[in-house]
Structure 1
């Protein structure tokens, strides 16, 4: 709990700089908005890729993907191992990005300053399978159009700070430690 409050103190410093447009790369906002925009397309791609892998497995091996994974020794006999590994690796990388965005959204939701509101705004605007129209968002939030866009921008900036300022550096540090341990 103490670590969590320390994180919020750090986030508050970054949030203030995000809202005041200082000390933040313009790429953070742009990249975060791009990730949000692509979120559902990436989920769709993951599902489609899994379907293709399932169909390839069934066609080539007459086994379902689950059965094939349980007996990976059979992969060499029926499928190109590198092609199979490449497809699974691509799916895993895409899933990792989605998980990172999901984790950042959960952190955003628990943020003490408008976290729930910002989460709800971003979820309804980008993540939900049902895309809310601008009019529906204005009605839902009970705000003017200019206030909606201002809050949306703040929400994206705060999410970007969480993502690029905390989660990704933490992940990079963990990966670096694993790399050092392996070699």
Structure 2
């Protein structure tokens, strides 16, 4: 990619990140193009679909999540690693409104631009679950698909304005359903 095209690409991504942070995944492609001061055709040349734009936006975050899982797998006890991973996932899910729905749809669709990144996140979480199961600290009757479904459900719930204030409490409920001895929540949210 030529240096001017790369600069344009990076500028569009920076603007898209701001617009998506403000408006969630349903942000208008036209609005992104307008705010980036480029034509819609230029935006679509770089990102032919909404999913392609989100793949570019989320790639760094998803790669970081996968890297975190790799680090947790060797540095923490299996149950603490899985719980830390779930907290990392929740923070990621809260950073982009609506991203969980995109990921849930993409993780089984090889034609999706998000498929590879979602598959990596799915695989990383499944590895952490298997490690915790081997130590007897996670339910033995679930698999990586179940864990991804629970992560997705939690991410969707805290994306809703009515549930967002209860994110820590909901996290603890999900962690309690997965781990045999999850840590207690940092703040009192059960009375919310």
- The TM-score with structure 2 as length reference comes to 0.28
- The TM-score with structure 1 as length reference comes to 0.29
Larger radius of gyration between Structure 1 and Structure 2: 1
